[in-house]
């Protein structure tokens, strides 16, 4: 089996489930040593066992990406224990309902803290290492919701729209120094993203949305990540959208 990422070290945030877990598994299969961070230490430990059972190398670094010290610490621990950080996958994120009428502003803060600021923290910590070692790759998992708003998606869409533009700004800032930056925007993907939404009606709607027939699988996103990373260094796939084939609006 081809291992295009042999010798590379990757850090995946939000790796305890969903897209983060799918990315970690695909990166390991492609030959990368994978450091993984998320709040659920038990799930990370299980994922390490799974990767090691298939002959890969992995490191669990439990942490909360909304806490700057823990987010930066995850990067520093990965570098300290594994020697470098060649790849950063920003996958940690949440979804909440967020309209403006009778809105709970704390929900906006919660969503922006993890979706946007968690990404800022890890990138700010990783970029100096990538510059020192002569290059690297950053892929941020955004969402097609970052391209359009809706009555109940204001908080989530706003956070992902901000992520899109912040990520592309990094691409323009760092590209001439061999750091490639990509925004990856999935549509409906079979994950647990809806399970912790506090609004019961929105929770039910999102759970149905991501469980519908033909929804993208986390592994599909992981394979797309490997494809992006395996391209020649002269090529930066700056943006990619992945939708379910049977529902082009998702």
Positions marked catalytic: 156
The residue among 140, 160, 98, 93 whose CA lies nearest residue 238 is 140
Token pair 């949440």 is found at 94
Cα separation values, 193 from 6, 120, 154, 237, Å: 31, 21, 16, 26
Q: What is the DSSP letter of 52?
A: H
Q: Which of 107, 115, 120 minimizes the C-alpha distance to 68?
A: 120
Quote the Cα angle for 33-6-124, to 5°. 55
């Amino acid at each position: 089996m081809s291992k295009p990422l042999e010798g590379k070290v990757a850090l995946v945030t939000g790796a305890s489930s969903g897209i983060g877990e799918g990315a970690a598994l695909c990166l390991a299969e492609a030959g990368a040593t994978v450091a993984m961070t998320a709040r659920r230490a038990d799930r990370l430990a299980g994922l390490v066992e799974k990767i090691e059972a298939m002959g890969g190398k992995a490191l669990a670094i439990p942490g909360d990406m909304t806490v700057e010290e823990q987010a930066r610490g995850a990067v520093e621990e990965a570098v300290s224990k594994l020697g470098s950080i060649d790849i950063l996958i920003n996958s940690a994120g949440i979804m909440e309902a967020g309209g403006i009428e009778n809105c709970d502003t704390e929900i906006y803060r919660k969503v922006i803290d993890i979706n946007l600021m968690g990404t800022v923290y890890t990138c700010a910590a990783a970029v100096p290492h990538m510059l020192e070692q002569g290059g690297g790759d950053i892929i941020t998992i955004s969402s097609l919701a970052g391209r359009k708003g809706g009555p109940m998606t204001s908080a989530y869409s706003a956070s992902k729209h901000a992520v899109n533009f912040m990520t592309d700004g990094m691409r323009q800032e760092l590209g001439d120094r061999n750091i490639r930056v990509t925004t990856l925007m999935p549509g409906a993907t079979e994950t647990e993203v809806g399970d912790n939404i506090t609004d019961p009606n929105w929770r039910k709607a999102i759970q149905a949305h991501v469980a519908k027939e033909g929804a993208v699988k986390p592994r599909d996103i992981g394979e797309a990540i490997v494809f992006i990373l395996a391209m020649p260094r002269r090529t930066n796939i700056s943006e990619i959208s992945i939708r379910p084939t049977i529902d082009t609006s998702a």
